Amino acid sequence: MTPTENTLAPLLAEMFAAAGKAQAGVHRQLEGGLHVKVALRGERKQLIVWRTKGRLPGATECEILGHDAGLIQPKFRSWQVGPEGARLDAFLITDAFTGQLCTHTWSAAAAVEDAKTRGEEAHCSTCRATWRTATPKRGKKVRHHYNGAEVRPAVFERFLVRGPVPEGAVVKAPAVASPAPAAAAPLIGQVCGTCRHGRPDGCDVACTLGWAAHDGLWLDPPPWAPGKWEPAEMGHGGLPLPLLTPRTRCMATGDRWLPRTGEVEAA
CB atoms within 10 A of CB 32: 12
Rg (CA), the chain: 22
Q: Residue 35 phi/psi, 5° resolution?
A: -95, 135
* Separation of alpha carbons 160 and 90, rounded Å: 32
**pLDDT recorded at residue 240:** 39
Reported as half-sphere exposure (CB side, CA atoms, 13 A), residue 136 has a value of 4
Give residue 129's pLDDT.
94
Per-residue pLDDT of the chain (267 residues; tens, 9 = 90+): 444 456 788 899 999 999 988 889 999 998 888 999 999 988 889 999 999 887 888 898 999 999 999 999 999 999 998 887 788 899 999 999 988 999 999 999 999 998 889 999 999 999 999 999 999 988 888 999 999 999 998 899 999 999 999 987 766 555 455 565 555 444 333 345 555 555 444 444 445 444 444 444 344 455 555 554 444 434 444 443 333 333 444 444 444 444 444 433 332
Strand partners, 124: 106
Q: What is the mean pLDDT of the chain?
A: 73
Each residue of 79-126: pLDDT tens digit? Answer: 998 887 788 899 999 999 988 999 999 999 999 998 889 999 999 999
CB 5 within 8 A of CB 154: yes
pTM of the model: 0.57
pLDDT of res. 165:
94
pLDDT 10s digits, 51-72? 988 788 889 899 999 999 999 9
Distance, CA of 239 to CA of 54 (rounded, Å)? 36
CA distances (Å), origin 222, targets 29, 82, 89, 91: 15, 7, 16, 19
**204 burial type by CB count under 10 A (0-12 exposed, 13-18 middle, 19+ buried):** middle
